[in-house]
Amino acid sequence: MPAAFRRYGADVVHVQSSAQIPAVYAQSFRREEFEHNIVHLGNVVATCKKLSVLGVTQIVSGTEIGVQVAEELAAHYGCPLNPARSIGARRDKFEMIRKLSDAGVPTADQSLCSTLQDVREFCNRHPGRVVLKPVNSAGSDDVHFCQSGPQAEAAFASIVRKDNLLDLPNQSAVIQTYLDGTEYYVNTMSRDGKHRVAEIWETTHISANGTYNLLDSGILMPSEGELQDQLVRYAFDCLDCLEVENSPAHMEIKMTAQGPKLIEMGARVVGGPLSRIARFGLEASQLDVIAAGYCDKDRFLSGLDTRYSPSQYVAAVSLIAPVSGRVNGYPGLAAVRELESFREAMILVQPGEPITRTHNDFTYPMMIILSHSDRSIVARDSRTIRHLDGEQFYDITT
């Protein structure tokens, strides 16, 4: 994100939202990309004074853990972000869906569970697959897909009474009916309550390593089309209901047989490298649209109806480590590099480092970027990667 703002001549200050950066974010944090780093210790007034001394004019949330801090700082500092009255619904995954449901926006059925009895009662009312997850974590941290009541009870017990990956305590868990259908990402930027679509991604999932519905790949879609129109209308309804007025947003939406339904929304840029990957096919990714929204408001607002068509078909394919241990190398990578649409291998776990058997969004060892003018070639190479990605792909000492 800093590079996108610098194209407008802006200096970028990082506000560290806690004394210690959670381990899940610490590895990817690049202090050298920011002119200053301010450690926020909970005192909004003190942090705003430091921002004022540096001449800060805009505040934007960077990661999920920074959403609430960013909005609290902006409210006190007096720069545009989102209304403080609805901050809970943009962070709390139960309140988020409840607010949408109360407004008549289609959602999954859900309940907030503080006891095993709460879980049992929900499962009795909703036989079939359910999803349990923490109220305020990120990514797929402790997200469980359960086919039976006993599985749901075990999942609940594994979530509560511990800290999540953001170092926040799990006092309760959200349980929801499972949504069938393909999952899409809709990434946006909003100013003055007006929304602009930056990226739409179609995702694929597999069941592997004992994990149901593990993210497998993301495919960048054109923003125009009947399906995309449905997704965008629904996404904008969600943004309006959750009062996302002056910030980026990342929405995960299932296209069910009854139409689109939100899984969850983050009032921040899409996580991971997806927006950087989008630049293989787009002139302006969500990062660029965000920067325009903050640094060139008039131009941003004049382009609200802009739709994009990728110059290349782009896919991001995640590799799925079969075992844990220490990775010595990736002997299968040579074959991947020979694929016609191969563009880049983003190695997240370097040779010599510990590798974890992939089971959530934070344990992928590598991401392969594909792009080509022919969609069928990207699709073929994506399937080829999944074929190559097995135990023989890795050299791991267990």
For the stretch 26-42, pLDDT in tens is: 888 999 999 999 999 99
Residue with tokens 């022919």: 374
pLDDT value of residue 343: 98
Average pLDDT value for residue range 287-297? 95
- Mean pLDDT over the full length of the chain: 95
Give the separation between CA 239 and CA 195, rounded to whole angstroms: 8
From residue 264, give the alpha-carbon distance in Å to each of 31, 90, 245, 296.
Answer: 29, 9, 17, 29
What is the residue whose two structure tokens read 């309550």?
Answer: 193
* Buried b or exposed e, range 375-397, using 16+ CB within 10 angstroms: eebbbbbbebbbebbeeebbebe
- Please name which of 18, 302, 68 lies closest in space to residue 26, comparing C-alpha atoms: 18
CA distance 378 to 280: 13
In this predicted structure, the answer to whether residue 312 has a pLDDT above a threshold of 90 is yes
What pLDDT score was predicted for residue 248? 97
- pLDDT recorded at residue 25: 86
Report the percentage of the chain scoring pLDDT > 70. 100
Tell me: pLDDT of 234 over 90. Answer: yes
Model pLDDT for residues 339-392, shown as the tens digit of each residue: 999 999 999 999 999 999 999 999 999 999 999 999 999 999 999 999 999 999
For 171-225, write each residue's pLDDT tens digit.
999 999 999 999 999 999 999 999 999 999 999 999 999 999 999 999 999 999 9
Residue 209, phi then psi, degrees to nearest 5: 55, 35
Whose CA is closest to 316, among 370, 388, 373, 384? 370
CA distance from start to end of the chain: 37
pLDDT digits (tens, 9 = 90+) for 240-288: 999 999 999 999 999 999 999 999 999 999 988 999 999 999 999 999 9
199 vs 1, higher pLDDT: 199
Contacts of 314 (CB under 8 A, 6+ apart): 219, 220, 277, 278, 280, 281, 369, 370, 371, 378
Q: What confidence tens digit (pLDDT) does each residue in 354-364 have?
A: 999 999 999 99
What's the pLDDT score for residue 24? 82
For residue 317 the two structure tokens come to 């394919």
pLDDT beyond 90 at 23 = no
Residue 317 confidence class, pLDDT cut points 50, 70, 90: very high
What number is the average pLDDT over the span 112-126? 97
Alpha-carbon distance 159 to 144, whole Å? Answer: 9
Domains of the chain: 2-87 (no CATH), 109-177 (3.30.1490.20), 312-398 (3.90.1170.30)
Query: What's the pLDDT at 306?
Result: 85
* Percentage above 90 pLDDT, the chain: 93
Residue 7 to residues 4, 287, 291, 296, 302, Cα–Cα distance (Å): 6, 11, 9, 11, 19
pLDDT of residue 378: 98
pLDDT for residue 148: 94
Q: Please state the rounded mean pLDDT for residues 312-325.
A: 98
Work out the pLDDT band at 230, boundaries 50, 70, 90.
very high
